[in-house]
Amino acid sequence: MPPPTSFLETLPREEAELIRAECATVELRTGQVLADVGKAFGDAYFPVSSVVSVTTQMRDGRLVESTTIGREAVACLPGLLGSKLSRQHVVAQVPGSALAVPVETLRGLLGSLPEFEARLGLMADCMMTAMSQSAACLALHPVPERCARWLLMTADRVDSNSFHLTQEYLAAMLGVHRPTVTIAARTLQLAGLIAYRRGEIQILDRAGLEAASCECYEVVRDVFREFLGGE
């Protein structure tokens, strides 16, 4: 799969330039909270080399991921659509750069950004599809398949077959205990699909990992391909 096109690059040049003029380039660290439940939105984020997770946090502090956001979309979308308070926990998943812009600033520009404004609704629909697929995946598919899907989605968004990821974080994103992730990762490693050492993941056999993944990877990938105007 070719790397996903940046969402900003799909906009008319004048709109993209107007947005970028209001953005600051920031470096996100793993686990950094970008929006929290019940709190007002601060910035919206256009990931560049980072990856962001939209998660649900339980009362005991456990997290489970509902969708992943890379450069194909914008994080904290509900704030741009009019929500004052976040209903989800949004965190940086893979460290890297992003363009950050205050939600209120960007909302104030919407009248000057007709294409961007029109595509926000389509983006929301894509994210709802991704969240629905994630819920079905969590309920129906075994952990090794889900793990393969998650690794493929992350690799697509960072445009690299190597990235930093701890087992603790992967377990949180998949909604399972660490020993379960250890077994799943070992299964993929013994099959020669990945290498894992000291928090560094390397995909060795991309085609094999896709074959080991559940159908959810292709479903979500194709939804965003269509959204970005790809094949």
3-class SS at 46?
Answer: strand
**Residue 219: its pLDDT value, please?**
94
Picking from 42, 41, 51, 45, the residue whose alpha carbon sits closest to that of residue 19 is 45
Q: Alpha helices of the chain — where are they, by DSSP H?
A: 13-21, 77-80, 103-108, 114-140, 143-158, 167-174, 178-190, 206-212, 216-227
3-class SS at 74?
Answer: coil
Distance from C-alpha of 115 to C-alpha of 68, rounded to nearest angstrom? 23
**Residue 5: its pLDDT value, please?**
67
Contacts of 115 (CB under 8 A, 6+ apart): 11, 12, 15
Q: Within a 10 A sphere around the Cβ of 86, how many other Cβ atoms?
A: 20
**Residue 149: its pLDDT value, please?**
93
| Inter-CA distances, 180 with 30, 62, 65, 119, 140, Å | 21, 15, 16, 39, 16
Residue 51 contacts residue 68 (beta carbons within 8 Å) = yes
Distance from C-alpha of 97 to C-alpha of 27, rounded to nearest angstrom? 4
Buried b (16+ CB within 10 A) or exposed e, 124-160: eebbebbbebbeebbeebebbbbbbbbbbbbbbbbee
Degrees to nearest 5, angle at CA 112 with 106 and 118: 80
What residues form DSSP beta bridges with 94? 51
**Cα dihedral 123, 30, 24, 98 sign:** negative
**Residue 140: its pLDDT value, please?**
92
Distance from C-alpha of 39 to C-alpha of 28, rounded to nearest angstrom? 20
For the chain, domains (ranges, CATH) are: 8-131 (2.60.120.10), 138-223 (1.10.10.10)
What residues form DSSP beta bridges with 98? 26, 47
Q: Within a 10 A sphere around the Cβ of 78, how many other Cβ atoms?
A: 20
What is the block-wise mean pLDDT of the chain (231 residues), using blocks of 10 residues?
A: 68 95 96 94 95 86 84 94 92 93 95 93 92 90 93 89 85 84 91 90 95 94 86 49
